[in-house]
Amino acid sequence: MEISYQIKYLKKRFPLRISRGTRDGQHNLFIQVTDNGLTGLGETSPGASEGAATAELAQESLVKFLANPHDLNAIFSTYDKAIEAKVAPCALAALDMALWDLKAKKARMPLYQMLGYKKPSKATSITIGIMSPEEAKERLPLILEQDGIRTLKVKLGNPAGIEADKAMYNEVLNYHKKYPIAIRVDANGGWSAKDAKHMMGWLAQRNCDYVEQPLKEGEEEDLPYLYKNRPLPIFLDESCRFASNIPNWAHTVDGVNMKLMKCGGITGALRIIATANAFGLKTMIGCMGESSISIAAGVAVSGALDHIDLDSHLNLNPDPCTGAPLVDEVITPLEIAGHGGQFRTDL
C-alpha cells in the first residue's frame, strides 16, 4: 500500500470556547492509503491530550510506526500494534479510518452497511461554545432560525464561575420558549464536584436532557457523589478514552461519549460500543475540529448510538472536504462505497 500525507488549515466560522480555552482554527493532518487503484482517506484533528499537539507530530507518530512492515489489511491487528507502540490516538484515528474506508471501497459498500449498522436517523446536536448572554443572543438566531436546528449542546464550565454559566444558559432558554429545541450540556470538566451537584439540580429544572463530563479528567473519584440521586443522566467524555476505561466508571455514569480522535478511530469506537452495551450504558459520539472526512467516518457507526454530536464540519469556513451532509438535522452518510468523505475539487 502507498501512503501519503498532507496538512490543511481549517478555519472556523465561529471560534469555539470551552472551559479549557478558545480555538478559531487549526492545522489537521490528512492521510491517503492507496492499494490497487483505490484510496482510503483519514484525518487527524490534533490535540495534546490526544497524543499529538500538532499535525506535524501526528505525522511523525505515523511515519515512525509505519516504518516497520505491517499487514494493513488486518485492521484490528494494526490497531492493537499501534496502541502497543504508543502511536498518538489522534494520529491512529486517521490511519484507522483510512483503512476502513479502503476496505469498504474494495467491498463496494457504504461503510455503515459493511459494519452492519443501520442508516443514522437521530438529529445531531449543534455545539454552542462558552459565551456571554449578549453573544448568545446574537449567535442563536443564526443557528435556530437560519439553519433550522432544533438540538443544541451548550458548553458550560465557564472559568468565570457557575453564575456566568447560568446567565448564558438562561439566554438559550429564552429560545426554548420560541422553538421546541432539545438542550444538552457539556461542562468539559469545568466544575468542582460541589458546583456540578448544584448545576445538575438547577439544569434539571430547565429543560436539560443530560450533562456531559461534569468533572475534570482525573477527578472520577467524585462520580459516585454525583451519581447518587442524580437529577440528570451523566455521560463521560474525557474520562472515557478507550473501551478499557468503561468498567472503571460504569457503575457511576449513565453513558459514554466516544470521539475518534480519543479512541484511535473506528476500531476503537466499535470496541467502546460493544463494551458500553455490555454494561447497559447509553452511547453517543462527539467530534473535535474535524472536516467532513472524519465526520463521515464517525457517521458510519452513528446509526448504533443514542446521541449524536457530529457538527464540527458545519462550523468550518470553508470545509475543504465533503461527504457528511446535514439532511433534516441528521448527518447522513452518502450511498457510495467507503465512508463517503472526499476532498473538494472546487477549492
Per residue in 233-252, pLDDT (tens digit) is 999 999 999 999 999 999 99
SS3 state of residue 94: helix
Q: Is 153 in a helix, a strand, or coil?
A: strand
- Confidence class for position 20, pLDDT limits 50, 70, 90: confident
Name the more confident of 148 and 84: 84
Cα angle at 190 between 283 and 197, to 5 degrees?
75
Strand partners, 182: 151
Helix (H) or strand (E) holding 204: helix 193-204
Amino acid sitting at position 192: S
| Rounded-to-integer distance, Cα 293 and Cα 44, Å | 10
Residue 175 has pLDDT above 90, yes or no: no
- What percent of the chain shows pLDDT beyond 70? 100
Helices H / strands E in the chain, number of each: 12, 15
Q: Cα angle at 14 between 11 and 19, to 5 degrees?
A: 105
Length in residues, the chain: 347
What pLDDT, on the 0 to 100 scale, is given for residue 146?
66
Mean pLDDT over residues 149-174, rounded?
Answer: 96
Which amino acid would we find at residue 160? Answer: A
Residue 76 has pLDDT above 80, yes or no: yes
Cell of 142: 443564526
Share of the chain above pLDDT 90, in %: 91
**pLDDT confidence tier of residue 22, bands split at 50, 70 and 90:** confident
Q: Is the pLDDT of residue 339 over 80?
A: yes
Determine the pLDDT at residue 144: 84
Q: What is the pLDDT of residue 36?
A: 96
- Quick check: 147 pLDDT over 80? no
In sequence order, the β-bridge partners of residue 236 are 256
Q: What is the pLDDT of residues 288-311, one digit of tens each?
A: 999 999 999 999 999 999 999 999
d(CA 26, CA 10): 5
- The maximal CA–CA distance of the chain, rounded, in angstroms, is 59
Residue 184: pLDDT above 90? yes
Angstrom distance (rounded) from CA 347 to CA 280: 45
Kindly tell me the sign of the dihedral angle through the C-alpha atoms of 56, 58, 62, 64. positive
Tell me what pLDDT residue 77 has: 98
**Tens digits of per-residue pLDDT, 100-146?**
999 999 999 999 999 999 999 999 999 999 999 999 988 898 888 76
Would you call the peptide bond into 318 cis, given omega within 30 degrees of 0 as the criterion?
A: yes
**Average pLDDT value over all residues in the chain:** 96
Measured CA to CA in angstroms, residue 162 lies from 167, 187, 194, 196, 291 at distances of 9, 10, 11, 9, 32
Q: What pLDDT shows up at residue 338?
A: 98
Whole-angstrom distance, CA of residue 221 vs CA of residue 20: 21
